Amino acid sequence: MTMSLWVWLKILGFLSVSLCGKAQDNQNVTFQMECRERYFLISTDLSLSGTETRFEAVDDKGVHPITKEYGFTCGYIFSVMVEHFEFRASYFSCHTDNQKDEAFTFHFNLITTNGDGEEIFHTVIETCYPSIPWSSREVTCEEDYVEVILRRDVFCPSYTTADNWDRMVQDLATSGWQVMFNREGVQPTTMSISMARSLGYVFDALPERLLFRSPFGQPHAFISLANGVFLEVIHPTLYSRQKWLVVMVDLVAACSTDRGHYEGSRMVWETPTLLPPLVLDPSKFAVQSISMGVNGQLQFHNTTQGDYTMEINNATVLIGIPFHSAGYRKSFVMENTYNELYVVHLYYEQVFVTEEGVETRLRQHRPMVTPLLTWHPFTMNQTDVEERVFIVYFGNLPSDVTLVAVNLNGQDFTVPLTQESSFSIARGSLPNGTHAYVLRVPFEDSLSKLYLEEGLLQFILDINFTLTIMDQEEPFYHLASVVAELTDVFPPSIDGFCSENGISFQWNHEPVDDLWEVAIGPDPLTPELAAQRGYVVTNNSQSIILDVPLFTIGYSYENITLSQFVGSLEIQSRNLKTPEIQQSVTMQCHFDTTELIVCSTHGVMTVVTEVLNGADPSRTSLLQKTCTPKEMNNSRVLFEFGLNTCGTLVQVDYQNVIYENEIIIEQSTEAPVIKKATLRGVVRCVYPLAGLSQLFTEWRFESEAPGQGTVVYTTDPRSFYPVTTIKPIEQCSQTTTPPSTMATPPRIGASIGALPAGHQSASYVRVLQWQGQVFTEAL
Ligand SMILES: *[C@@H]1O[C@H](CO)[C@@H](O)[C@H](O)[C@H]1NC(C)=O
Ligand SMILES: *[C@@H]1O[C@H](CO)[C@@H](O)[C@H](O)[C@H]1NC(C)=O
Ligand SMILES: *[C@@H]1O[C@H](CO)[C@@H](O)[C@H](O)[C@H]1NC(C)=O
Ligand SMILES: *[C@@H]1O[C@H](CO)[C@@H](O)[C@H](O)[C@H]1NC(C)=O
Ligand SMILES: *[C@@H]1O[C@H](CO)[C@@H](O)[C@H](O)[C@H]1NC(C)=O
Ligand SMILES: *[C@@H]1O[C@H](CO)[C@@H](O)[C@H](O)[C@H]1NC(C)=O
Ligand SMILES: *[C@@H]1O[C@H](CO)[C@@H](O)[C@H](O)[C@H]1NC(C)=O
Ligand SMILES: *[C@@H]1O[C@H](CO)[C@@H](O)[C@H](O)[C@H]1NC(C)=O
Ligand SMILES: *[C@@H]1O[C@H](CO)[C@@H](O)[C@H](O)[C@H]1NC(C)=O
């Protein structure tokens, strides 16, 4: 996965002559300026500059805008290393004021643009003095060009007078010289100096030296292989026919083209120990020193030091630079993966002496970029089944990465957790600079439970971690899924008991209670349901006891006699996730009969009631006189009849069907006549219309739920049903009530007023409530 630096810088959006950092309002750009060996440096961190920056060089001829291309030939370099920017100007760059090769004055305008688009001019004037003596020959391999400086005594015999030199300088200026480009195995190309200049080459006579500069990749350059390393070589020879001799100046330059390779924690760069075109006779060649460093500064000489390595043999020099500590770093998210790369700015210098005793100083600037280094966070399952808590270790996170959110089984939580929660996320740092999170989620919170088979319960925690790189927006995700299993998990086992006043159930708490619900009929047992229906729930540490009083909702009744009846109640435990019933318990208990009215789902009304005022039970009947009690003793009667028999009246309102009959007591002739009022017991069953399926299709009755029954004793001759609209139903009216009665609006309580004042039996009017509140009037 080798990607060139430029590809990456393009991706990162930094490849531009002008600096385009992230826009930040009015941020002042801070530049560092330094004199370095043979170049002048202006540097800044891109992240600090909120601006575009241009450069202009100023000399006595005027102002010269500097572009990247212009820099290749003129000795200026724009170097971008991730978020670090450098501008380097050679001591011999086109617009430097050179005082006898001893002082070099640079004059630049830096033009930055502030947030409002205004240009701000900064003027930089700096004079640099070489701090180390000049070598006879200095070859500098910059990023984009090579520069050769040759002292005049190298090519001019000592008897060359100052006079001669001056003339030569003049000749060079007036193109009295020719240049010949030599290439291996090819005829040399010869041209005039002015022609060469037009091709981008620079030849210049300095006070004490000759200068040659060429961009890389020129047509007259060539690549050669030396000890397995490729070199870019350019080999011009200047020549001039003097009066009686031909003067030739060899200006050969060679640079290793190695871009470096990635080796563990280092970037390794290679160059031949001996660069053949610079050295003609290897046997007389001697290395004086080899030095290396980064960012244009030589730090280590001749030897390996710490993480910086230098392997020198007679063939090659291998330089290793630890990029973690020496490089510029950039991290970013690509394809949901964290990547980082480093750019190392290698600086290399080799000093050697050739056969003629010419000291050569070869310098090389080489930015090297690591391949994309991806990081893979990992999760470790450290779940504690005993404690019933998922523990997930999430580690190997680079230091600039933060966990911003976590999704647990589809539920999002921001990190740090804002609300109180039963789970926790802790962050910890590791000695190697990475960090990790530990997520603890109790099983009960896992939100995803699966009852696999008898006794086996599986908890699943699906995690989606959302991470971001600090100061960057694009998130990336890491997924993990942990599973834990509990064995011996069974639904509660329910026992039932009959008591005098109802039925009780008891079951023990189970390790995982919330897998199951207990239901009475279709309705899950909740505290609300219990309160609404009058059930009593006792919940202690071991078990739950549910007392269901007789006549509360849920019961059904059978085999009702005057003395006893059977009340039954069904309770179920079922799986919450599936409608599957795990256990169903039906309790049937015998209860002593008190007064009651039962409206069965099959359309049978059963009434057990006290006969009032000591009236003779045998004188009671329903509306149809032939319907007499099914059972009676001295004080009570039991009527049982189909809802379509015994003269039962039917009324329908929007919600209900109401069946009504009367227990008529024929007044004993001996008894003292209290006015005329006939005492009637109105018995009534009310069924919700919605629950009836078979009402009118055939003379069969079927209701989903039992009806609500009432028994009311009254002297009011009318039906007093409190409904606003009463519609007679054809099919029913023929066998039942005269329409006039049905249409009369009810007059509740009218009967009370009709009772004689001071009558002992205020309890004449009694309401038995049955499965709900129909009449709540306290009569
Ligand atoms: C920029 O520099 C000016 C002048 O030195 C100073 O007044 C201003 O506060 C600086 N602004 C910022 C954002 O640093
Ligand atoms: C490097 O080694 C050479 C000889 O091999 C020696 O002359 C020179 O002084 C050394 N340079 C440094 C800086 O130690
Ligand atoms: C390097 O030196 C070794 C012996 O010291 C020699 O065998 C080898 O040929 C030399 N390699 C080159 C490229 O000169
Ligand atoms: C850092 O240390 C942790 C714990 O020893 C290890 O799991 C992780 O892989 C290490 N990461 C790196 C980049 O060395
Ligand atoms: C993880 O969460 C992110 C953000 O909510 C979402 O875009 C992504 O699809 C999720 N991944 C999976 C596999 O659910
Ligand atoms: C995680 O750890 C638990 C407890 O040690 C174990 O039961 C489970 O199989 C492990 N594996 C996964 C994938 O969750
Ligand atoms: C019983 O009490 C426990 C603990 O107080 C509670 O979690 C549970 O929901 C209660 N059960 C019922 C049916 O009220
Ligand atoms: C009701 O009585 C019938 C007939 O005596 C009997 O077969 C049935 O089991 C009784 N029902 C209950 C619930 O006791
Ligand atoms: C009539 O039967 C009921 C129910 O069995 C009983 O409570 C009551 O005492 C009986 N009355 C008489 C007078 O026997």
Q: Is the CB of 380 under 6 A from ligand 6?
A: no
Residue 455 has pLDDT above 90, yes or no: no
315 Cβ inside 6 Å of ligand 3: yes
Check if 385 has its Cβ closer than 6 Å to any atom of ligand 6.
Answer: yes
Distance from the first to the final alpha carbon of the chain: 94
How far, in Å, from the CA of 380 to the mean position of ligand 7? Answer: 35
- The residue nearest atom 2 of ligand 3, judged by CA position, is 314
Measured from the CB, is residue 396 less than 6 Å from ligand 4? yes
pLDDT at 621: 87
Sorted by sequence, the CB contacts under 8 Å of residue 540 that are 6+ apart come out as none
Pick the more confident residue, 760 or 160.
Answer: 160
pLDDT digits (tens, 9 = 90+) for 411-428: 899 988 877 778 899 999
Nearest bound ligand to CA 560? 8
Residues 530 and 520: beta-carbon distance below 8 Å: no
Q: Any residues with Cβ below 6 Å from ligand 9, and which? A: 562-563, 593, 633-636
pLDDT at 417: 81
DSSP letters along 211-255, please? EEEEETT-TT-EEEEETTEEEEEE-EEEEEE-SSSEEEEE--EEE
| Ligand 6 pocket: which of 483, 485, 486, 487 to mutate (most atoms within 8 A of CB) | 483
pLDDT band at 548 (very low <50, low <70, confident <90, very high): very high
* 313 C-beta closer than 6 A to ligand 8: no
Instruction: State how far the Cα of 715 lies from the Cα of 680, in Å rounded to an integer.
Output: 6
Q: What pLDDT does residue 677 have?
A: 54
Please report which confidence band the pLDDT of residue 591 belongs to, taking 50, 70 and 90 as the band edges. Answer: very high
Q: Is 479 in the pocket of ligand 5 (CB under 6 A)?
A: yes
For ligand 7, whether the C-beta of 546 sits within 6 Å is no
Task: Report the run of H or E that residue 129 belongs to, with start and end.
Answer: none
Mutation pick for ligand 2 pocket among 291, 301, 302 (CB with most ligand atoms within 8 Å): 302
User: Closest Cα to residue 205, out of 240, 168, 160, 179?
Assistant: 168
Confidence of residue 758 (pLDDT cuts 50, 70, 90): very low
pLDDT in tens, 475-531: 999 999 999 988 888 888 899 999 988 999 999 887 776 778 888 888 889 999 999
Per-residue pLDDT, averaged over 625-653, amounts to: 88
pLDDT band, very low/low/confident/very high, at 552 (cuts 50, 70, 90): confident
For ligand 1, whether the C-beta of 28 sits within 6 Å is yes
Verify whether ligand 3 is closer than 6 Å to residue 314 (CB atom).
yes
* Residue 158 in contact with ligand 8 by CB distance below 6 A: no
CA distances in angstroms from 237 to 166, 174, 217, listed in the order given: 19, 17, 18
Of the candidates 205, 211, 133, 135, the one whose C-alpha atom is nearest the C-alpha of residue 172 is 205
Query: pLDDT averaged over the chain?
Result: 80
Between these two residues, 49 and 669, which has the higher pLDDT value? 669
Pocket test for ligand 4, best of 430, 437, 438 (most atoms within 8 A of CB): 430
Helices (H) and strands (E) in the chain, counts: 10, 57
The predicted model scores a pTM of 0.65
Ligand 7 centroid to residue 539 C-alpha, Å: 6
Residue-level pLDDT at 716:
64
**Token representation of residue 65:** 């805008």
